[in-house]
Each structure stands twice: as structure tokens, then as C-alpha cells.
Copies of this chain bind each other. A is one copy, B any other.
Amino acid sequence: MSLNMSIWLVIFLHIYSVLASDSDPVQDFCIPRSEFSSIFVSCKNSSLVTVEDFVFSGIKSPGEFSKSGFSSIPVSVSVFPGLNTLGMSFVRADFEPGSINVPHYHPRATETAFVLEGKIYSGFVDSRNRVFAKVIEKGEVMVFPKGLIHFQMNIGDSRATILGSFNSQNPGLLKIPSAVFGSEIEEEVLIKAFGLNNKELAKLKKKFLPIS
């Protein structure tokens, strides 16, 4: 393959980060071609598809824990291509005692959270700022309506684990603390919005320094 050819290939691959959307599928399934990144619009020839494309084995154990004792493995179409065009994805979250999943939301999905292990204080805020929260235990399920802010905290003595399921192949995730204080929103906006002074804001932001 010539040099030009290779350049062209790079361009081509680059393009395919693509749109797919959570509407009804029009095929049985569409396994993206593995050469290409994230979300795909082109399907593997179906004779090359195998059962492995429909099975995901990466959440048997917890992911890497943060210093605060929280771990999550989001499984959207970018890591489990079999989900492509099918409008679903999921996540495994593990909590050391006392650790939290910070207030966050998924802009493109409702979530049903099933407690695999432990006791979790779990809740969400609706658009009237009302909180619906309680402790849920192994085997219980809580639903977080589409786009609403929710949070969890392990209030038990041992590790807790949750399996969350979403009705989008790519639900998205916005963590409130880092989206607000770890991003480059103009400081004056934050000072006015939260009633902070410069020093208080600086202290808050320090915790969420963007990764450089």
C-alpha cells in the first residue's frame, strides 16, 4: 500500500466516529467493523459475526478503585460492539464502605439500578428540586428517570456493588462536581451562581483540576 494510500486510510478511519441513534433497529443486529472507533454506522458482514460479539465478560470483577473507594465500568457500544443499534447499555459500580458515586446524570437514558451486594443509600432529584432517596439492599431495584441527577453512598460495613442498565447504547455521563468545578466555566459565573468568594471557589476548584 502506497504512502498516499495510507494517509487516505487514516483519514477514512478517522471519519468513522459516527452517528448512530436510539431509534428502532432495521436489522437483526449490526456489529460494527472492528477497525473503526467508538460508535459506528457500518456493520460487519454478517457471516463474520460470531457469538462472541454478543457476550461481554469485562464486568466479572470491579474496575480500578479511586482513592475515595469508588469504581465504575461503563459498558456502552464503544466497548461492547454487540449493543450497536439496539438501544441498551449498562454499568458496574463498586463502593468501599462510605464511598460515594457523586451526583451525576445521564443525558440520554433512564437507568434501572439493581443492587448486587451491600446496602446503598440511593436517590435522585426531580426538576422541582425534590429528593427521592432511601437505602436499598441486595436484590432491590431503583429507577432513575431520564436525565435526572442521582447519587449513591455505601452505608454498609462491606463493599457494595450495583448493576445499572440504560435504554440508550450511549447514555452519556455528567458528574456534577467535575463538570461544574473541574471544567473551565468562567469563574465569575460560578461565583455568582453559587454565592462564593474567590478564595472559596479556588478551594473548590483545586479538588477537580482537569487532567493535564
Interfacial residues, chain A to chain B (CB-CB below 8 A): 1-2, 4-5, 8-9, 14-30, 33, 39-46, 49-57, 59-61, 68, 75, 80, 82-90, 99-100, 102-103, 105, 107-108, 110, 112, 114, 116, 121, 123-134, 136-149, 151, 153, 163, 165, 167-170, 172-186, 188-190, 192-196, 200, 204, 207, 210
Contact B5 A130 (CB under 8 A): no
How many copies of the shown chain assemble into the complex?
6
Contact B110 A86 (CB under 8 A): yes
Contact A59 B20 (CB under 8 A): no
11 intermolecular pairs with C-beta atoms under 8 Å apart: A1-B8, A16-B42, A19-B42, A19-B84, A21-B23, A53-B132, A103-B190, A107-B146, A112-B165, A114-B163, A127-B173
